Structure 1
């Protein structure tokens, strides 16, 4: 009997051992399966308690990829993860966890962390409350994913939307500016033209003549300003041309003063003899606006910004250190501030597209990248000096053209070309402009027939095509446009010289018109000496063609 009991006990023990071995194997298989699942996750799984430090009691090995810290480091130091959490997001994370505890609902939140390498990453966390043996909340389990790339894509998407909005806005501004500028240039034409004739009539009254001269100078400045407005509204459409940098900088600073906080003062030292660069005016405008925006944003509590423009001769040594510069004369533009400054690590990345130290929504990271691209496009170079807490200084070097910059305060005193009594057909639907240019041409010695309606002008021409030596017509005319009228007349008389004028015309329009065979295209307001030269040149060219 005892032997049988021992035998049964032994069998039971063997069976229990087999069951234990099987359970252990199942446990090891389950652990291996769990580890494989955890390793295949795109993020890190975690468990933390509900204490004040939210101590991490478990985290999968993916934490090393996310944060640069091992699981052992994160579980051994209760406050480590809290210290990695960005200060700007601590309150929002705390609030999300408190709501989860209150409502016992799964929580989901986004926040920033600082990795061991010093990088800022965006993480998305989702978790569930777990209860202890007493049925009370004891911890939190969930998963954390790296969403930095998605955030970057979101920034790029927003920037693309802003660019599209800006493009539409600039297109609308361009259309509006075109209509306004056309009318404004007609008004300016009358002011400039009558002031020039008044100056002639006051030859025996020096003081009054000088007053008329000042009106002419003001009109020329207004004309350049209007052309800059058109250039800015047609962003990217113009070709490179000699640009007087000081004119663009001065106008941009006037605009900037009304847009930056009053707590930021601007000190400017602008040399009007700094010279010309080969660029689009909008490019120079963008350079200054982006640099100044960066400067005042670095002074959140106020400060001083300095803008300096001048000329410098660069030697071979400096040029070699800053390609693609070459030795010689350059225009130098610098913008400095006494704001927060930048660390060396930031300096190394400031020109990277989409890199920004600002909060999401407060900066796209494209301002300085745009500056860098424009400077490279203009064969220039940019240098940056900065110290944390001591401000920053950006300096741009652009190749300087050898020709002198125009000075709107100086008027040409060249003699007007003579005439031989040629007959001119003049067409413009603005009565004041028609009368003005008619007087100008008659004072120069030409015989003028003036018409406000293109249809009436065509009837007069068709009746006797040989009655006129030159036709001058406005481009935008009711009924028959100036361009169509020119084609009709040249079809009848192919050798007839025609000059077109307009209060608004972009570069493509001007090129297309000149390619159509007209003699010249003049943009209103047209100064007397420009009109005289264009008329004389067109007539002389027609005479040469006849003799060939």
Structure 2
């Protein structure tokens, strides 16, 4: 009998050991909670690991220590709405916000049911840390949003570029007409500059949606920075003072001017947001620095050499070290919902890294923030910025057929091109344009056509015209089309390809180049025919 009792005890110990091992080595946190106090009556080590506690610290914990205060009301309501008939009570589950020992938050999934524990009603359940899964789901949703933005950008870019064409074109026309009125001329010039930047920004959005590379060129940063600061001075409240110290001798860097504009706007608007309540000082510095091997220890990704430094600082509320660590994460934002997307600094970081540069942040709560961006300096001479340097616009006297289904644009460009000396026939119907061309194929010296039009598209119109007159020079314009680019246009035999919005300088140069090249080829052909031996 004693022997049998020992065997039973041994069997129970084995079962207890087996279940204890199962509980303690579980991937999930297991718990039993007292109702209504929320005190933990039982928990395994995994539960303490999830929330960052030791086993000793976990002795006096309650469920309220592990759940974010915003979720307490929901948990308490769940505890008090369980029926007393625990044997038939359903299991409840949900996703909640957990609170770790050091104060950080995590996403947890709780599955729980009501049980009798030591004769009292209690709640037992499991907790699973689903933070990584939640982050993945969020990134997936954001990736889907970005894909949708790319699709949307492709869809609206044609119409948006047509709108920009009207803004830029009529501004250029007004500037020409008011060139003797300095105050009007200066004001309209600012509208034109904003239109040019908008044009480049649309091109960037399209490049982003197609994941294409930006063309970098040697660039002095000072003119672009001055342009941004001029825009900001007109829009920031008077409580924010802008100070600038931009060294004239700062080296050139390999960059895209619109991306530098984007960097400045992001950093400065963030600084302004940090000083929105109490005002302060926004300071922008530009200078050169030489990084030797000692300095590159702090920035191992940088090689020794000369760098141009852009510094943007504010006297705002500053940031905690925890926030500073995350500011370059995509979609991370400390702004209230609807104010920020969390993409601004991530984009800045991506641009700077693509240039082979580095970005440094210094910030303390209550002491403001300073961003320093290090751009590798280059010895090449900067390419003149079309926005900052006016060039001579070529004139002409040839006959041009201009075809676009947007009536406002055809009227605009007829007016501009006639001011440049050309004889322009405008058509808003591509089929009617073909009939006009067919009636006298040799009358026109050049055809300029939009690509996307009802009836005959630009490609079909060119093909039909070339069957009648193979040598007719053609320029194709488009706001955006996946079916046409410069390479495809060239394969179609098109002489030049221009992306809208059209700019007078660019279009006038293209027209002159195409006409002069056609004229040269024609002279060469005539010379060859003149000296052909007679039969």
Match of 1:379 in 2: 356
Match of 1:227 in 2: 199
Distance 1:514 1:354, change over 3 A: same
SS in 1 for 2:370: strand
2:449 is equivalent to residue 489 of structure 1: no
Contact 2:330 2:343 in 1 (8 A): yes
2:124 is equivalent to residue 142 of structure 1: yes
Match of 1:30 in 2: 15
Match of 1:480 in 2: 456
Offset at residue 118 of structure 1 (A): 7.4
The worse-fitting range, judged by mean Cα deviation, of 32-41 and 353-362 is: 353-362
SS in 2 for 1:384: strand
Q: Distance in 2 between matches of 1:225 and 1:217?
A: 12
Match of 1:203 in 2: none
Structure 1 counterpart of 2:140, from 160, 183, 192: 160
Structure 2 counterpart of 1:342, from 305, 320, 324: 320
Match of 1:202 in 2: none
Number of aligned pairs?
Answer: 502
2:520 is equivalent to residue 544 of structure 1: yes
SS in 2 for 1:32: helix
2:46 is equivalent to residue 74 of structure 1: no
Match of 1:178 in 2: 158
Q: Distance in 2 between matches of 1:91 and 1:240?
A: 52
Q: Distance in 2 between matches of 1:508 and 1:256?
A: 40
Contact 1:245 1:277 in 2 (8 A): no
User: Can you list the C-alpha shifts for 1:392-419, whole angstroms capped at 9, x where unaligned?
Assistant: 433333346742674857644x3x5465
User: Can you list the C-alpha shifts for 1:229-254, whole angstroms capped at 9, x where unaligned?
Assistant: 53465360464145875488569969
Contact 1:192 1:525 in 2 (8 A): no
User: Can you list the C-alpha shifts for 1:118-147, whole angstroms capped at 9, x where unaligned?
Assistant: 7655444435342655xxx3x635244332
Distance 1:19 1:253, change over 3 A: farther
Offset at residue 467 of structure 1 (A): 4.1
Match of 1:311 in 2: 286
Q: Distance in 2 between matches of 1:536 and 1:326?
A: 47
Offset at residue 320 of structure 1 (A): 6.4
SS in 2 for 1:339: coil
Distance 1:227 1:35, change over 3 A: same
Contact 1:380 1:399 in 2 (8 A): yes
- 1:213-292 to 2 correspondence within 5 Å? 213-214=185-186, 217-218=189-190, 220-228=192-200, 230-231=202-203, 233-234=205-206, 236=208, 237=210, 239-241=213-215, 245-246=224-225, 249=228, 268-269=242-243, 278-279=255-256, 281=258, 285=262, 288-289=265-266
Contact 1:235 1:282 in 2 (8 A): no
Offset at residue 168 of structure 1 (A): 2.5
Contact 1:314 1:329 in 2 (8 A): yes
Offset at residue 378 of structure 1 (A): 2.8
Distance 1:360 1:70, change over 3 A: farther
Offset at residue 383 of structure 1 (A): 0.5
2:425 is equivalent to residue 450 of structure 1: yes
Backbone CA RMSD of aligned residues: 4.9
The worse-fitting range, judged by mean Cα deviation, of 380-389 and 313-322 is: 313-322
Contact 1:331 1:398 in 2 (8 A): yes
Contact 2:224 2:260 in 1 (8 A): no
SS in 1 for 2:465: helix
Gaps of at least 5 residues in structure 1 are 1-14, 200-207
SS in 2 for 1:240: coil
Q: Distance in 2 between matches of 1:18 and 1:50?
A: 43
SS in 2 for 1:536: helix
Q: Distance in 2 between matches of 1:240 and 1:309?
A: 26
TM-score, normalised relative to structure 1: 0.70
Offset at residue 315 of structure 1 (A): 0.6
Offset at residue 382 of structure 1 (A): 0.9
The worse-fitting range, judged by mean Cα deviation, of 372-381 and 45-54 is: 45-54
Offset at residue 48 of structure 1 (A): 5.2
Contact 1:231 1:281 in 2 (8 A): no
**Structure with greater Cα Rg:** 1
SS in 2 for 1:160: helix
Contact 2:473 2:495 in 1 (8 A): yes
Q: Distance in 2 between matches of 1:423 and 1:365?
A: 52
Q: Distance in 1 between matches of 2:385 and 2:415?
A: 28
TM-score, normalised relative to structure 2: 0.72
Offset at residue 381 of structure 1 (A): 0.9
Q: Distance in 2 between matches of 1:192 and 1:28?
A: 91
Match of 2:370 in 1: 393
Q: Distance in 2 between matches of 1:50 and 1:435?
A: 79
Q: Distance in 2 between matches of 1:436 and 1:45?
A: 73
- 1:7-156 to 2 correspondence within 5 Å? 15=1, 17-47=2-32, 49=34, 54=39, 56-63=40-47, 65-67=49-51, 69=53, 71=55, 74-75=58-59, 78-79=60-61, 86-90=68-72, 92-100=74-82, 110-115=96-101, 121-125=106-110, 126-130=112-116, 132=118, 137=120, 140=122, 142-147=124-129, 150-156=130-136
Contact 2:197 2:258 in 1 (8 A): no
Contact 2:178 2:185 in 1 (8 A): no
Match of 2:474 in 1: 498
Q: Distance in 2 between matches of 1:81 and 1:184?
A: 59
Q: Distance in 2 between matches of 1:531 and 1:142?
A: 75
Contact 1:320 1:326 in 2 (8 A): no
Match of 2:509 in 1: 533
Match of 1:12 in 2: none
User: Can you list the C-alpha shifts for 1:294-322, whole angstroms capped at 9, x where unaligned?
Assistant: 985x78x9455765545321212256643
Offset at residue 506 of structure 1 (A): 6.5
SS in 2 for 1:234: helix
Q: Distance in 2 between matches of 1:79 and 1:214?
A: 69
Q: Distance in 1 between matches of 2:272 and 2:463?
A: 54
